[in-house]
Amino acid sequence: MSFNKVLALLVFCCMAPLAAAHEFDAGELHIDHPWSRALPPVAKTGAAYLSIANHGEHDDELLGADTPIAGKVEMHEHLHQGGLMKMQQVQTLPVAAGETLEFRPGGYHLMLFNLEQPLVAGEHFPLTLHFAEAGDIEVMVNIQADEKPKSTGDAHAHH
């Protein structure tokens, strides 16, 4: 086998776990495609997005999140009031049985304050979600140059 083929195989094997790391399961909760947008190195705030599907028969509640790359993480929502768009903090969010809670640009999102490292496309960082019933769930957030690819959302439409 040529050196290039061996190198390509090695790169594929190392990247395969990262490609599969877009989905996380903990009990009845399924967390799909945690992602963040790449930002300039001087940015001190960022945002993370994902979806949380509750496949169980009992409701749960997202209490918050944290990550070692930010001083604090807050849950926020965008609201349209009086023709203006504003953002406000949310203390907790229900994750109803049989429902999916979506975090996406222009909606709910996880604000990352006081970033301690730049958000660079192609890298990833850990994020721990705190739930009332499921407890703490750690996911890996992929940093992307652009928004969530359309094909990923379509491929997971059944969640």
Which range is least confidently modeled, 6-15, 31-40, 71-80? Answer: 6-15
Between residues 58 and 155, the one the model is more confident about: 58
Q: How far apart are CA 26 and CA 3, in angstroms?
A: 40
pLDDT given for residue 44 in this prediction: 96
Question: Which residues pair with residue 54 across a beta bridge?
Answer: 29
Fold classified for 3-155: Immunoglobulin-like (2.60.40)
Residues 6+ apart with CB under 8 A from 126: 67, 68, 138, 139, 140, 141
pLDDT at 81: 83
Contact 54, 95 (CB under 8 A): yes
Tens digits of per-residue pLDDT, 115-147? Answer: 999 999 999 999 999 999 999 999 999 999 976
- Nearest C-alpha neighbor of 130 from the set 78, 60, 69, 50: 60
Q: What is the pLDDT of residues 45-102, one digit of tens each?
A: 999 999 999 999 999 999 999 999 999 999 999 988 888 888 999 999 999 999 999 9
Question: What pLDDT is stored for residue 59 in this prediction?
Answer: 97
> What is the pLDDT averaged over residues 6-16?
41
Residue 154: per-residue pLDDT: 41
List b or e across 29-68, with b for residues whose CB sees 16 or more CB atoms inside 10 angstroms. bbbbbbbbbbbeeeeeebbbbbbbbbebeeebebebbbbe
Q: Where are the domains of the chain?
A: 3-155
- Residues 123 and 78: their CA atoms lie apart, in Å, by 27
Task: Quote the tokens at residue 66.
Answer: 């944290």
pLDDT of 149 above 90: no
Contact 54, 60 (CB under 8 A): yes
Residue 147 has a pLDDT of 64
